[in-house]
Each structure stands twice: as structure tokens, then as C-alpha cells.
Amino acid sequence: MINCYVKKGNKLTIVEGIEFLDTNEDKNSVIWIDMLLPTIDEIKAVENMFDMKFPTKQESEEIELSSRYWEENNRIEINSYFLVNENNQASNETVSFILQGTLLISVRYKKLQSFDTFTKKLLISPREFRTGYSIFCQIIDIRIDADADTIENLSKEITKIRKHVFTDYSNDDEEILEKISTFEDLNMKIRENLTDKQRILNSLLKSQKFVDDKQELPIMLKDIKSLIDHTNFNFERLDYLQNIFIGVLSIEQNKVIKIFTIVNVIFLPPTLIASMYGMNFDFMPELHWEYGYLFSIIFMILASVTPLLIFKKKGWI
């Protein structure tokens, strides 16, 4: 699907498809072409009309980090990560952008909330967006704000699980470890996403194109740096939480082992006595003694109680 955003004066029109672009005047009036899940024919049509080449979905995902920003004579090619978090599974979706003159072309293979949010903003106040470059900056800015919200929600979840570990701990250790692992994966994806945008915006800031319209870039870079610091802090919190949780598990295991050890020590002397009187020797005076049975029972009780008294005096229980 291709949506063309055509601006004439202060009026903005959305046209589906590119069939109406017959003249150069029509082409110059388009400030943004958004391609969502484009077919091969749609990609070729846009490539031929604007004399450019788009990377395929596989190529855009396999592009090396050093080549995710590419600048040529009359255009800039950008491949940027957009975070997608569905069913607690985080992933980075690559979106390709091409800036050529006042035109922005975006190619994406998944519906993204940042684009929907920006489209609403563009329709409400089209005067604020004169070129494709301003549209690109606003889309990235919206994505940065969304990343900030994701980091904030993640921090709240980390605080919840920390309280759970320290106050309401129960035998759901596998669930807690799974949550910690999921949070670490999400935090890693966010940091990768932000680092990618930081590298792209730094390259754009150094570029000689759009020299008079770069006021927003330093502000966005400052926000990204702050968010990256926050993700680093979350990594430290998760690492600390994992170590504490493993420590709590070790304490619980030690308590169980301690109980079994005490039980074994308590029952070992009576077992020894019972085993001794169960031996089939001809000479064993207590076997024919009138009070032999009572004597053995009292002996076994004393053998059980004595270790308990010793352990309690030592403060072991």
C-alpha cells in the first residue's frame, strides 16, 4: 500500500497510489510517500519514477551498522530500528527512509504506532511540516518519546518484581527468573534501538544537507543519551535483582538442608539403639530383663532429645 501526502500551500491531501504523479509539478507537491507492505510492482514503480533504488526487507535487516546511514549527491538513505513489543516479545523492526530534496519516502513491512501517531498530527497541523526532512525528524522524535514511555514502564515492572522478591516471595522462582530474563531482553532491544538512532542523528547532524534546519537534532540526541543512561541503570538493577534472588533461593535451600540435617541427627541415635537391640545375639542381658523394653524406649527418647537441647543451646535452631 502506498500513501502519498500532497501539500499545496497550507492544504494537505492524502492520495493512495502514485498513478496521479504524471508531471514534475505533481512530484514536487508530494512531501511524503509512505509505503506499507509494498509489493514488488509498487517498489519498482516508485524506483522508476524517482530514479532510485530501495533495499529489500532482507537487505535492510542485513545492512551493517556502519552502512545504515548512506549519503549520496542528491539524497540520504537511512535504515532505522523501530521497537515492536508484541505478546511480551520485543523485536526491532527495520524501516528504510530516503530523503531526496523536499521528499521523504519510507518503506516498512509492519504497522507501527509511531507512524499512525504522526499521521494524525500531520493532518491536524500540516503547516508545521514543510518538507520530508521535518517529517522524518518528527517521526523519530515520536519514536524516542515512545521508547521513553517503554523504559518508564519497564522501570515500574522492575520495581514491582523487586518488592515481590523481598516481601512476597513464594515458590514461583521459575516465573520470577523468566520475568527477569524477559526484562533484560526488552532493555537490550531498547538500548540497541536508541544507539542506532543516536548514530543516525549524529551522521545527519554532521551532514551538509539541511544546514538551516537542524535545531531539533541536538535536543533529540540529548534525550537519547539520557535514555541510554537509563537503560544502563536498568541493566544494573536487573543484575542486582538477579543476584539477590539467587541469594534468596540459596537461603531457602539452606533452610531445607538444615531441617533435613537436624532430623537425620535426631533420629540417628534412636535408630542405632533400635538396630542394636534387633541383633540376634545369644548373650544380650536386656533381652530377658523385665524392664528391658521400657529401658530401650527411654534410652531412644533421651538420644533424640539430647541433640535438640545441644543445638538449641548452641543457637543452631
pTM score over 0.85: no
Per-residue tens of pLDDT for the chain, all 317 residues = 888 888 877 788 888 888 777 666 667 788 899 999 988 888 888 888 888 877 766 766 666 655 688 888 788 889 999 998 776 678 888 899 999 888 899 999 889 999 999 998 888 888 888 888 989 999 999 999 999 999 999 999 888 888 777 766 555 667 788 888 888 999 999 999 999 999 999 988 888 877 667 788 999 999 999 999 999 999 998 888 888 887 777 777 777 777 777 777 777 878 877 777 776 666 677 667 777 778 788 888 888 788 778 777 776 66
SS3 160: helix
Which grid cell is 234? Answer: 536498568
Hunting for cell 548512506 — which residue is that? Answer: 70
Distance between CA atoms of residues 7 and 148, nearest Å: 31
CB of 274 within 8 A of CB of 297? no
Distance between CA atoms of residues 190 and 208, nearest Å: 29
Distance between CA atoms of residues 171 and 252, nearest Å: 10
Q: Which residue pairs from 107-112 have beta carbons closer than 8 angstroms and sit at least 24 positions apart in sequence?
A: 107/35, 107/38, 107/43, 107/54, 107/60, 108/34, 108/35, 108/36, 108/37, 108/82, 109/36, 109/37, 109/57, 110/37, 110/84, 111/36, 112/82, 112/84
Distance between CA atoms of residues 71 and 78, nearest Å: 9
Distance of CA 171 to the CA centre of its chain: 25
